[in-house]
């Protein structure tokens, strides 16, 4: 007994084959190009780049600073999330300062809240597009 396949199912299979093949080709090219950039980092290095430094006053609604108060921490967490997309849950809290570090694909940000003088010191470093695709290739600093 011979099995017959309809023309419509063959046409559908051909369309699926074409588009899945194109997507996989792009994925393979991405990993091939980033493999070259990972194996030759000196070709694409931006090691001489200076970090961007900012000094921002802590908002008036967060003063006076009481880092031990849960309501203050909640308000400070909302400010940090809205201003710099940083999470207060990962903060290192001392008596006179709060430190946070955020890493993303091709980026690094360090924030220090100086509780004595009411200032936030932010240092941001963007390593460039090549570092972003390299981090995506490795799955480093990309989150879940």
Q: Which residues pair with 104 in a beta bridge?
A: 107
Q: What is the DSSP string of 7-32?
A: HHHHHHHHHHHHHHHHHHHHHHHHHH
How far does CA 143 lie from the centroid of its chain? 7
Cis peptide before 92 (omega within 30 of 0): no
pTM of the predicted protein model: 0.72
The token duo for 128 is 């460039």
Annotated domain spans of the chain:
7-39, 48-138
- One CATH from 3.40.50, 3.30.310, 1.10.3470, 2.40.50 for 48-138: 3.30.310
Residue 55 backbone phi and psi in degrees, to 5: -130, 115
Walk along the chain (144 residues) and give the pLDDT tens digit of each residue.
Answer: 788 888 999 999 999 999 999 999 999 999 999 999 889 888 877 666 788 999 999 998 888 877 788 888 899 899 999 988 888 888 898 888 899 999 989 889 999 999 888 899 999 998 888 888 999 999 888 877
């Amino acid at each position: 007994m011979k099995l017959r396949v309809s023309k419509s199912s063959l046409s559908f299979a051909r369309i699926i084959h074409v588009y899945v093949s194109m997507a996989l080709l792009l994925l393979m090219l991405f990993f091939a190009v980033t493999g070259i950039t990972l194996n030759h980092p000196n070709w694409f290095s931006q090691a001489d780049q200076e970090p961007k430094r900012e000094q921002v006053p802590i908002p008036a609604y967060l003063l006076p600073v009481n880092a031990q108060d849960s309501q203050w921490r909640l308000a400070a967490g909302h400010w940090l999330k809205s201003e710099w997309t940083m999470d207060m849950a990962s903060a290192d809290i001392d008596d006179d300062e709060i430190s946070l570090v955020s890493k993303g694909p091709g980026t690094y940000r360090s924030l220090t809240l100086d509780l004595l003088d009411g200032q936030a010191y932010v240092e941001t470093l963007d390593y460039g597009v090549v570092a972003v695709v390299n981090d995506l290739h490795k799955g480093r600093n990309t989150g879940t």
